[in-house]
Amino acid sequence: MDTRKGSPWHPYPGKSKTDARDAFIIAETARAMPHTLRAVDRDSEVLSALKVLSGFDADLTHECTRAINRLRSLLLQIFPALERAFPGTVLTRSLVLELLIKYAGPTGLRTAGHGNVLRWARTHSRKDPAALIDAVFAALGQQTVTVAGTEAVELVIPRVAVQIKELKHQRTIVAEEVEKLLDDFPLSRVLMSMPGVGIKTAATILLTIGDGSNFHTSGHLAAYAGIAPVTRRSGTSIRGEFHARSGNKELKNALFRSAWIASCHDPVSKTYYERKRAEGKKHNAALICLARRRCDVLFAMLKN
């Protein structure tokens, strides 16, 4: 159906778009089509507080991602080999951030020398940091040219590292507060008993579907999450089943992420994932299949 305003197929045709018109349509929808609206548990203090904290954590996550990207960009700008010495999440480890805060960049590291940096690292790390420090100084040996602006960049690097460290600390505090809230919500313990479901995933599930009472079957829940396959049709042509691109994005990401974790640590989930891979499905497709299977279990847990 064409839902554009002014279309002959729209239930409220018209050319103008005003706040008054929008308010009327919303009110009329609530009156005439109540089944299209989802209930909101306004009486739950726990869910209300959980929503605030989850939103704040999402903001912190975005800020942290921007700061990490900025730090990588600074390192790439003056010393690409050093940036490659911190692949993936290595850059956000506490030891690496402290290293960049103390020595700022290649100039400070070279001035201190391998031995001094290694001794300092051993006093700030529980694990032996020798491999990391060796990789850092191996990278420092790959570039002899000093790029213009290095001094200015090395003034900024420790400040960005401090910012990332503080944002990570704030996220830890928020996670602890969320965990305390979830302790008062009985369904959270049910959800987290499932392999791959942690605090953040449980919070997302509770915020998006509550106790699941709005869904008659697990298929309805899977469709709402966007993990149920859909059939593409055009006239009399049926083009097979594909994964839906609609649905609640937050819930879909949470179920996908928990399926990924379960495929690595839970034997039953891992076996199912490997079977789907053996059938020729790619990684993401196999995880979506696993998430759909786990949705049935999740629905049963919430209901029973």
Better-scored residue on pLDDT, 138 or 231: 138
pLDDT in tens, 68-112: 999 999 999 999 999 999 999 999 999 999 999 999 999 999 999
How many separate helices (H) and strands (E) can be counted in the chain?
Answer: 14, 2
- The band of 256, judged by pLDDT with boundaries at 50, 70 and 90, is very high
Q: Concatenate the DSSP letters of all residues of 108-144 into one string.
A: HHHHH-HHHHHHHHHTS-SS--HHHHHHHHHHHTT--
| Mean predicted confidence (pLDDT) in 248-274 | 92
- The band of 240, judged by pLDDT with boundaries at 50, 70 and 90, is very low
Asked if the model's pLDDT at residue 4 lies above 60, the reply is: no
Contact 273, 292 (CB under 8 A): no
SS3 234: strand
Q: Which two tokens stand for residue 203?
A: 């919070």
| Mean predicted confidence (pLDDT) in 180-200 | 84
Mutual orientation of helices 150-183 and 94-103 as an angle, nearest 10°? 150
| Mean predicted confidence (pLDDT) in 168-174 | 94
Which residues are within 8 A (CB) of 164 and not within 5 positions of it... i.e. 6 or more apart?
64, 67, 68, 71, 92, 97
pLDDT in tens, 21-68: 777 877 777 777 665 555 544 446 777 888 888 889 989 999 999 999
Distance CA 291, CA 228 (A): 9
Asked if the model's pLDDT at residue 8 lies above 50, the reply is: no
Distance CA 119, CA 117 (A): 5
For 41, phi then psi, to 5°, come to -80, 90
Per the prediction, the chain carries an average pLDDT of 85
Q: Which two tokens stand for residue 218?
A: 């697990």
Asked if the model's pLDDT at residue 190 lies above 90, the reply is: no
Q: pTM (2 decimals)?
A: 0.69
Which whole-number Å values give the CA distances from 132 to 84, 93, 250, in the listed order? 12, 11, 36
Handedness of CA 119, 125, 129, 133 (dihedral sign): negative
What is the per-residue pLDDT for 249? Answer: 87
Asked if the model's pLDDT at residue 287 lies above 80, the reply is: yes
Distance CA 209, CA 282 (A): 29
Asked if the model's pLDDT at residue 231 lies above 90, the reply is: no
| Beta-carbon-side half-sphere exposure of residue 166 (alpha carbons within 13 Å) | 9
Judged by average pLDDT, the poorest of 28-37, 46-55, 165-174, 294-303 is: 28-37
Q: Does domain 45-183 have CATH number 3.30.310?
A: no
Give domain limits for the chain.
45-183, 186-303
Asked if the model's pLDDT at residue 2 lies above 50, the reply is: no
